[in-house]
């Protein structure tokens, strides 16, 4: 897809999202905000898992870091943008260190190795007064006016759209191609002159930064953060979004985020909240059985079938 088409696509999503944030009922506006927030975490996980074949269960740590740094700095009256940047910078530094230390570890061993970070931070936040302990921390609204929640969701959609566009450019650049080559074959990538260690660490850092920004914006949408953000299941949810949406696809990341938010919400709407997890599990299983490449694979199939075949010229009978 050309840069022009990418601008049109992301611009259209941005306009539609902003309009929806002002016209949807409050509950659906809240869901829209969650989808925008989780899409960033899903893109981050996809850079790690979908593009470089690294499995991490530590992304909940960066999600929580982003949320808590934002909440704490905001309570100290630090500018919201600077608070988000501070959380992303801290997450990036930690990810660089962790990524460099675990770079030689692969597959399930990497997942277990990265698991230590959220478990450690879970206990730390529970025992610190500045984080609110087990009770958590309130997050102040970004704006104070009559339709504040709609304005906040619109702001989040703007941020998510810009980051999504930049992520698409990265995925289609030499960096994305290096990621893809690393995923296909590390030995082949080295033979082509690609510094595998450098790009695997870069993927880890990118993933952490995007997840941290997602955590900061999550606090804005929900208005309250707790140590439960560091739970392992949060990382698992990010992994689910990346896989169900479509590995190695930015658009798939958006679909995965929508899936994880909307499926439980539908059960809530129909008064079947107790069946949320069952419905989510069945939906995941059916999707991956029918479409191993994820929801983006389903979209590709639908688009191919809608194309009008070109009629082949037939010889004229003499």
Residue 279: the pLDDT is: 84
Residue 1: the pLDDT is: 63
Residue 62: the pLDDT is: 95
Residue 39: the pLDDT is: 95
- Counting as low any pLDDT under 50, the low residues of the chain are 310, 312-318
Residue 309: the pLDDT is: 54
Dist. CA 245–CA 93, nearest whole Å? 28
Residue 315: the pLDDT is: 45
Q: pLDDT by residue (tens digit) across 236-267?
A: 999 999 999 988 889 899 999 999 999 988 88
Give the global pTM: 0.90
Cβ atoms of 60 and 230 within 8 Å: the answer is yes
Residue 110: the pLDDT is: 79
Dist. CA 13–CA 17, nearest whole Å? 6
Q: pLDDT by residue (tens digit) across 22-53?
A: 999 999 999 999 999 999 999 999 998 888 88
Tell which residue, 254, 185, 282, has the closest CA to residue 41. Answer: 254
């Amino acid at each position: 897809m050309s840069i022009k088409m990418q601008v049109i696509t992301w611009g259209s999503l941005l306009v539609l999202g902003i309009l929806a944030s002002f016209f949807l009922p409050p509950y659906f506006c809240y869901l829209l905000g969650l989808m925008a927030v989780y899409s960033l975490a899903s893109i981050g996980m996809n850079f790690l898992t979908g593009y470089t074949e690294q499995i991490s269960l530590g992304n909940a740590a960066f999600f929580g870091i982003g949320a808590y740094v934002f909440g704490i700095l905001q309570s100290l009256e630090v500018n919201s943008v600077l608070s988000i940047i501070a959380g992303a910078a801290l997450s990036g530094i930690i990810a660089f260190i962790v990524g460099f230390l675990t770079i030689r570890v692969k597959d399930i061993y990497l997942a277990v190795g990265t698991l230590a970070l959220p478990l450690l931070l879970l206990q730390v936040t529970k025992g610190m007064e500045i984080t609110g302990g087990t009770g958590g921390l309130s997050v102040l609204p970004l704006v104070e006016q009559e339709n504040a929640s709609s304005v906040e969701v619109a702001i989040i959609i703007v941020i998510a759209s810009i980051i999504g566009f930049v992520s698409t450019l990265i995925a289609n650049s030499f960096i994305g191609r290096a990621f893809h080559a690393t995923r296909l074959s590390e030995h082949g990538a080295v033979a082509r002159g690609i510094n595998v260690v450098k790009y695997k660490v870069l993927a880890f850092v990118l993933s952490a930064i995007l997840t941290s920004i997602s955590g900061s914006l999550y606090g804005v949408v929900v208005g309250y953060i707790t140590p439960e953000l560091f739970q392992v299941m949060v990382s698992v949810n990010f992994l689910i979004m990346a896989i169900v949406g479509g590995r190695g696809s930015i658009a798939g990341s958006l679909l995965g985020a929508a899936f994880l938010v909307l499926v439980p919400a539908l059960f809530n709407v129909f008064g079947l909240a107790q069946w949320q997890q069952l419905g989510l599990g069945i939906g995941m299983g059916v999707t991956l059985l029918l479409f191993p490449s994820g929801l983006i694979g389903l979209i590709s199939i639908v688009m191919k079938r809608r194309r009008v075949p070109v009629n082949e010229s037939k010889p004229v009978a003499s």
